[in-house]
Amino acid sequence: MSSIADNIGSVTRRIQKATLQAGREPGSVRLLAVSKTRPAEDLKAAFEAGQIAFGENYLQEALDKMQALSDIEGIEWHFIGPIQSNKTRQIAEAFAWVHSVDRLKIARRLSEQRPETLPPLNICLQVNINNEDSKSGCTLDELDELLEAIGELPNLRLRGLMAIPDPDQPEAELRLSFRKLASTLTKLRQDHPEAGPLDTLSMGMSDDLEMAIAEGATWVRVGTALFGARPAKHSQS
């Protein structure tokens, strides 16, 4: 069995290789360690191996781990799960990034509830890129209006787009999904220069990070390849 430190090394090398092959600047793709369902000790091992950014899907689980790891300084916490509006305050208080904002109501609450003592909250808009009924995320059509409204919110910093394309679609279609997210961001950057830095594409996971990097990912969100297979089912919020 390989250790978490070994896995960080091999995923980092995969990212470096894919970045180079895509002709992109070294260091332009960051690794988000998706640590949902993992115990705090696993995050500690990853941090000690040099991993800074951790992505969590379930608020209470994340808060418990923050508590358990409170003596470690320098972890960057990212929220990547579906957001209920009664959870926004704790998210706004505890995280540096939220990748899964998909409606204005949530963005407004996060901005209102972001403590003034903290820098603006970095957010990505989650797009339901394959228009799956089962998936969260806004539609492509909603983005223009969302950007205009979010531009008015003082305590958010809109960084870009996030998607979780259906991993079971054929490879060529998966590639097109990544490409579509990237071209959408390019277009938004042109149409909404006031909206924020729009420098972020959060896409690609354990099995498809190379393809996502080739298509422009700046965050790849990797769980299984770092921590091993997750228990089959998990329901918590």
Ligand X SMILES: *Cc1c(COP(=O)(O)O)cnc(C)c1O
User: Site map for ligand X, 12-51, x if CB under 6 A?
Assistant: ----------------------x-x---------------
The answer to whether the CB of 163 falls within 8 A of the CB of 124 is: no
Choice between 224 and 237, CB closer to ligand X = 224
Q: List the interface residues with ligand X, window 75-114 (CB under 6 A).
A: 80
CB of 159 to ligand X, least distance (A): 16
User: Site map for ligand X, 190-209, x if CB under 6 A?
Assistant: ---------------xx---
User: Site map for ligand X, 217-236, x if CB under 6 A?
Assistant: ----xxxxx-----------
User: What are φ and ψ of residue 203, in 5° steps?
Assistant: -160, 150
Choice between 196 and 204, CB closer to ligand X = 204
Q: List the interface residues with ligand X, window 110-169 (CB under 6 A).
A: 164
Residue at shortest CB range from ligand X: 223
Residues that bind ligand X (CB under 6 A): 34, 36, 57, 80, 164, 205-206, 221-225
